[in-house]
């Protein structure tokens, strides 16, 4: 009975599709079937036009890892040139784009799938160029040989569902080993960004880089200077949102790669002297990154939150201090993120979190309603991120201290919830608006109106909602004092 059911399932999965030879008994795994079915008409069209078509790169790797491919971008490669790719692809696509044509890539949207098809090629950088030179090729193995790592140098022949793995990528995947198809010096010289991608795969796929790869990264780290800031930023972002970035961050530090684009990170490895013992700030920082959720803004804030410590370290009565490292760190964060070409809004958000990350600890003697309002007001839309960063910033091994910090944070969040319910803290504004201030005081637009609103907001923060009549009385008192001064 069980055998019959298995046979029926196999028949259902393989109906109308070729055999996927890698999997036992020719069964196409359920997680792979949807993408193969979606690509079947396109595969036939390329075959009829005399071209080969392969699923390649991360899609093949993820299929072998039995990851769900639904919703994933699909990378394909072919011996067809860009004009032929576009001609064959258009009848099957909802939309087509060709911004990557000079690199051999034509993109398309096919129902729920985003597809990019690239001509077989080999890329390399000249010594001082920030863009690769592209040569088109005619065979799949040459194309795979120029890929970054063996785990990405596998292809699936979509006509026969045959795995093409000339460099042992499957064995490396099973052994959790990170290697390059050719020598790592050649691979990293061709595209130095691959050294940063190594950090992401070490972290995201729990791989161990072979010794030759590590030595090549150390030797070639300065070559990152030819890679654009935007590409470096994008690769850093991908590393920061894997489940556990720490192995990749340690790889960047220990190979010297971080020195090339994020020198603030290795600078956190402060020298430990025998008298003034203090926490290893680098290890602490990386631990905080791991503790936060994989959301880019809060992860970047965790990465940068202590970068001001080396510049502010001093010793007071045989104890190490880092006074104002939050303010100094915020300035350093802004400068580094701008150099990496981050969007202005993200720079502002991460910088604000770095500057505010110690605010919680300034209220250790108790939270007045005024203090809670100011905390919420200053955090603004980043309140949940600030609370998370504050919680995760506690990496102490002292159970009592950790418990006390967690309890204080619980109390603060409870107070915030209570005041939000009472006073709508999220929309905190002065009780009187600028138009009313001008009409009531008989003044026109200008600095005085802004000063009045600042005064009214300070009253609101300190005392909560007063009611319109009391707010007007306070405004009149303030205005009388202004006219006397």
Cβ neighbors of 464 (< 8 A, separation 6 or more) are 369, 373, 419, 422, 423
Helix (H, G, I), strand (E, B) or coil at 265: coil
Q: Given the structure tokens 């009385």, which residue do they identify?
A: 473
Q: What per-residue confidence (pLDDT) applies to 451?
A: 85
CATH of 263-427, one of 1.10.10, 1.10.357, 1.10.3470, 1.10.3210: 1.10.3210
| 8 A C-beta contact, residue 28 and residue 17 | yes
Q: Where residue 195 falls among pLDDT bands split at 50, 70, 90?
A: very high
Most confident of 150-154, 267-271, 395-399: 150-154
Mean pLDDT of 82-98: 95
Q: What per-residue confidence (pLDDT) applies to 366?
A: 67
What sections of 56-116 are H helices per DSSP? 58-64, 82-89
Neighbouring CB atoms inside 10 A of 237's CB total: 16
Q: What per-residue confidence (pLDDT) applies to 454?
A: 82
Alpha carbon distance 241, 153 (integer Å): 24
Q: What per-residue confidence (pLDDT) applies to 332?
A: 96
Per-residue pLDDT reduced to its tens digit, 287-339: 999 999 999 999 999 999 999 998 888 777 767 778 789 999 999 999 999 99
Percent of the chain with pLDDT over 70: 86
- Assign a CATH topology to domain 176-261: Hydrophobic Seed Protein (1.10.110)
Helix (H, G, I), strand (E, B) or coil at 101: helix
| 8 A C-beta contact, residue 406 and residue 388 | no
Lowest mean pLDDT among 111-115, 187-191, 418-422: 418-422
Alpha carbon distance 252, 250 (integer Å): 5
Residue 337: C-alpha distances to residues 212, 227, 250, 305, 344 (Å) = 32, 16, 20, 13, 9
DSSP per residue over 9-39, as a string? Answer: HHHHHHTTS---TTSGGGPPPTTTHHHHHHH
Nearest to 60, CA basis, from 136, 162, 137 = 162
Q: What is the mean pLDDT of the chain?
A: 85
Written as six digits, the tokens of 379 are 């955090």
Q: What per-residue confidence (pLDDT) applies to 398?
A: 75
Percent of the chain with pLDDT over 90: 52
Q: What 8-state DSSP symbol labels residue 440?
A: H
Per-residue pLDDT reduced to its tens digit, 239-255: 999 999 999 999 999 99
Residues in the chain, total = 485
Q: Where residue 174 falls among pLDDT bands split at 50, 70, 90?
A: very high
Angle made by CA atoms 18, 19, 23, in degrees to the nearest 5? 150
- Pairing status of strand 208-209 against strand 177-178: parallel
Q: Where residue 172 falls among pLDDT bands split at 50, 70, 90?
A: very high
Per-residue pLDDT reduced to its tens digit, 224-235: 999 999 999 999
Q: Is the pLDDT of residue 426 over 70?
A: no
Nearest to 106, CA basis, from 124, 122, 87, 91 = 87
Q: What per-residue confidence (pLDDT) applies to 155?
A: 95
- Phi, psi for 116 (deg, rounded to 5): -125, 125
- Does 388 or 8 have the greater pLDDT score? 388
- Does 136 or 392 have the greater pLDDT score? 392
Phi-psi region of 96 (alpha: psi -120 to 50; beta: other; left: phi over 0): beta
Q: How many CA atoms lie within 13 A of 122 on its CB side?
A: 14
Nearest to 197, CA basis, from 155, 133, 242, 163 = 242
Written as six digits, the tokens of 107 are 């993109």
Q: Given the structure tokens 């880019």, which residue do they identify?
A: 296
Q: What per-residue confidence (pLDDT) applies to 24?
A: 37
Nearest to 311, CA basis, from 361, 277, 279, 267 = 267
Q: What per-residue confidence (pLDDT) applies to 11?
A: 39
Q: What per-residue confidence (pLDDT) applies to 372?
A: 83
Alpha carbon distance 236, 249 (integer Å): 10
Q: How far is CA 7 from the centre of its chain?
A: 44
Q: What per-residue confidence (pLDDT) applies to 136?
A: 85
Q: Is the pLDDT of residue 6 over 60?
A: no
Mean pLDDT of 247-272: 92
Q: What per-residue confidence (pLDDT) applies to 424?
A: 59
Alpha carbon distance 76, 283 (integer Å): 40
Q: Where residue 28 falls among pLDDT bands split at 50, 70, 90?
A: low
The pTM assigned to this predicted structure is: 0.78
Rg (CA), the chain: 29
Q: What per-residue confidence (pLDDT) applies to 44?
A: 94
- Does 377 or 194 have the greater pLDDT score? 194
Residue 119: C-alpha distances to residues 40, 57, 140, 149 (Å) = 19, 14, 10, 19
Written as six digits, the tokens of 194 are 């691959």
Longest dimension (CA), the chain: 97
Mean pLDDT of 151-169: 93
Per-residue pLDDT reduced to its tens digit, 372-417: 888 888 888 899 999 999 999 987 777 888 888 888 888 888 888 8
Locate the domains of the chain by residue range. 2-174, 176-261, 263-427, 434-484
Written as six digits, the tokens of 259 are 């020195």
Q: Where residue 423 falls among pLDDT bands split at 50, 70, 90?
A: low
CATH class of 2-174: alpha beta
Alpha carbon distance 191, 360 (integer Å): 44
| 8 A C-beta contact, residue 91 and residue 45 | yes
| 8 A C-beta contact, residue 392 and residue 292 | yes
Alpha carbon distance 342, 111 (integer Å): 32
Q: Is the pLDDT of residue 13 over 60?
A: no
Neighbouring CB atoms inside 10 A of 303's CB total: 26
Q: Where residue 347 falls among pLDDT bands split at 50, 70, 90?
A: very high
Q: What 8-state DSSP symbol labels residue 270?
A: P
Per-residue pLDDT reduced to its tens digit, 91-126: 999 999 999 998 899 999 998 889 999 999 865 555
Q: Where residue 131 falls among pLDDT bands split at 50, 70, 90?
A: low
Q: What per-residue confidence (pLDDT) applies to 363?
A: 66
Q: Where residue 10 falls among pLDDT bands split at 50, 70, 90?
A: very low
Q: Is the pLDDT of residue 209 over 60?
A: yes
Q: What per-residue confidence (pLDDT) applies to 27?
A: 53
Alpha carbon distance 250, 282 (integer Å): 9
């Amino acid at each position: 009975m069980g055998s019959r059911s298995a046979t029926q399932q196999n028949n259902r999965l393989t109906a109308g599709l070729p055999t996927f030879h890698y999997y036992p008994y020719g069964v196409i795994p359920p997680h792979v079937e949807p993408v193969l079915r979606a690509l079947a008409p396109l595969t036939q069209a390329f075959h009829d036009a005399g071209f080969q078509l392969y699923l390649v790169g991360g899609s093949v790797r993820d299929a072998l890892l039995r990851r769900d491919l639904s919703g994933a971008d699909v990378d394909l490669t072919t011996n067809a040139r860009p004009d032929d790719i576009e001609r064959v692809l258009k009848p099957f696509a909802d939309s087509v784009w060709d911004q990557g044509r000079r690199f051999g890539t034509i993109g398309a949207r096919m129902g729920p799938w985003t597809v990019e098809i690239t001509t077989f090629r080999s890329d390399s950088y000249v010594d001082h160029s920030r863009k690769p030179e592209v040569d088109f090729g005619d065979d799949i193995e040459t194309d795979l040989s120029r890929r970054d790592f063996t785990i990405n140098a596998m292809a699936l022949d979509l006509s026969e569902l045959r795995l093409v793995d000339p460099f042992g990528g499957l064995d490396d995947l099973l052994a959790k080993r990170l290697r390059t198809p050719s020598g790592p010096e050649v691979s990293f010289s061709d595209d130095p960004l691959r050294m940063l991608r190594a950090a992401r795969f070490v972290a995201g796929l729990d791989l161990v880089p072979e010794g030759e790869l590590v030595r090549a990264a150390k030797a070639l780290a300065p070559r990152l200077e030819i890679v654009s800031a935007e590409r470096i930023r994008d690769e850093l972002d991908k590393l920061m949102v894997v489940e556990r970035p720490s192995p990749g961050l340690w790889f960047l530090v220990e190979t010297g790669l971080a020195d090339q684009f994020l020198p603030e990170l290795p600078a956190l490895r402060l020298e430990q002297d025998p008298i003034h013992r203090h926490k290893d700030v680098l290890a602490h920082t990386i631990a905080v990154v791991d503790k936060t959720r994989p959301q880019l803004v809060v992860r970047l804030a965790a990465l940068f939150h202590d970068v001001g410590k080396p510049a502010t370290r001093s010793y007071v009565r045989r104890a190490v201090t880092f006074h104002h490292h939050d303010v100094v760190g915020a300035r350093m964060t802004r400068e580094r993120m701008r150099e990496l070409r981050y969007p202005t809004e993200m720079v502002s958000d991460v910088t604000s979190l770095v500057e505010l990350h110690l605010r919680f600890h300034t209220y250790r003697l108790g939270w007045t309603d005024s203090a809670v309002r100011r905390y919420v007001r200053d955090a603004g839309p980043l309140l949940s991120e600030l609370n998370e960063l504050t919680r995760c910033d506690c990496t102490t091994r002292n159970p009592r201290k950790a418990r006390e910090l967690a309890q204080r944070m619980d109390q603060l969040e409870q107070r915030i919830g209570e005041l939000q319910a009472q006073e709508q803290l999220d929309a905190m504004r002065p009780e009187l608006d600028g138009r009313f201030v001008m009409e009531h005081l008989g003044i026109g637009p200008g600095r005085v109106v802004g000063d009045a609103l600042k005064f009214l907001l300070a009253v609101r923060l300190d005392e909560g909602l007063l009611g319109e009549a009391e707010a007007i009385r306070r405004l009149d008192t303030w205005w009388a004092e202004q006219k006397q001064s």
